[in-house]
Amino acid sequence: MQRFTTVSAGEHPKRLDVYLSTHTADLSRAAIQRLIEKGAVTVNGRRPKPSQKVKPGDEIVWDVPKAEPLEIGGEPIPLDVLFEDEVLLVLNKPAGIVVHPAPGHWSGTLVNALLYHMQSKKAASDGADLPSIGGRERPGLVHRLDKGTSGVMVIAKTDAAHQGLSKQFKAHSINRVYLALVIGSVKGKAGRVDLAIGRDTKHRKKISARTTAPRAAVTEFLVAERYGKVATLVEVHPQTGRTHQIRVHLASLGHPLLGDETYGGRKVCALGGMDIERPMLHARTLGFTHPVTGKYMEYTVPPHADMETVLAMLRSANGELR
């Protein structure tokens, strides 16, 4: 479907992708950037770059193609749905499942489960597909949790919901609370880590402060429980949402997550004779404003069974574990 507009008089010069995202209710800036990259947008008859500045009098034409069918198929993977309506879905993600398809994980992901869920609902009630706005591998995804992280996630079911939720995440107005079980005794009752991070210059699969593209990252935390000198349970309030942020920031204090071999080495992957097979990180609470109704919604789920087992062992040991 082709759309067009003329930049009005008095409009201050701004990036094309920014201008269109503020003048198009059903498309996010990321979706518009993809359209520009595909050549589906012209300014005064010429193909632009997303960063091109538009000015009064510029004629912009863009073509929004019909959503292409995803090549990634649905799979009957159970979902723990906490809430669902016509525009969004809130679920409790288990640890051990990758959120979206990528090299090495083209199946068995949360997206495969979501596609099956939506296809089943559509067959039963002629519902909608997941939106294409997140891209072919990430339909409906507004945020993500690492494979080893459990907890609350929100999924957009329409492009408008995706845009509305994305704006909240970008503005950091989402209430996110994590539980993190770390090695050692954390000093004090609370703390704050303000450390810019990005892709590590030597280890491309790791995130660190040793990077050529640092991005501001802030994490605040409160001590919830102590287990002698062995471990500490902290309640984490991330103020930004960078990849691996909580894991990297806590490790930078000398307190990597139990089970997080990437940032703590093998020494943090066993405790009291028990193997810790994944980072002990749980997205406990997620609060946001419904993108359509404007109602504030908040969901809290307890840690999953494996994390509860480790916590129970620590509590019963009174800090005497090695």
Task: Compute and round to an integer the Cα radius of gyration of the chain.
Answer: 22
Distance CA(42)–CA(40), nearest Å, equals: 7
Task: Give the number of residues written for the chain.
Answer: 322
Tokens of 306: 């494996």
Tokens of 65: 């193609």
Distance CA(175)–CA(168), nearest Å, equals: 10
DSSP state of 215: B
Distance CA(99)–CA(271), nearest Å, equals: 28
Contact by Cβ (8 Å): 280, 181: yes
| β-strand partners of 300 | 285
Residue 260 annotated in active site: no
- Tokens 């489960």 map to which residue? 113
Selected catalytic residue, list 58, 146, 260, 306: 146
Residues contacting 93, CB < 8 A, separation 6+:
80, 99, 110, 145, 149, 150, 151, 152, 153, 283
Decide: helix, strand or coil at residue 157.
coil
Catalogue the active-site residues. Answer: 146
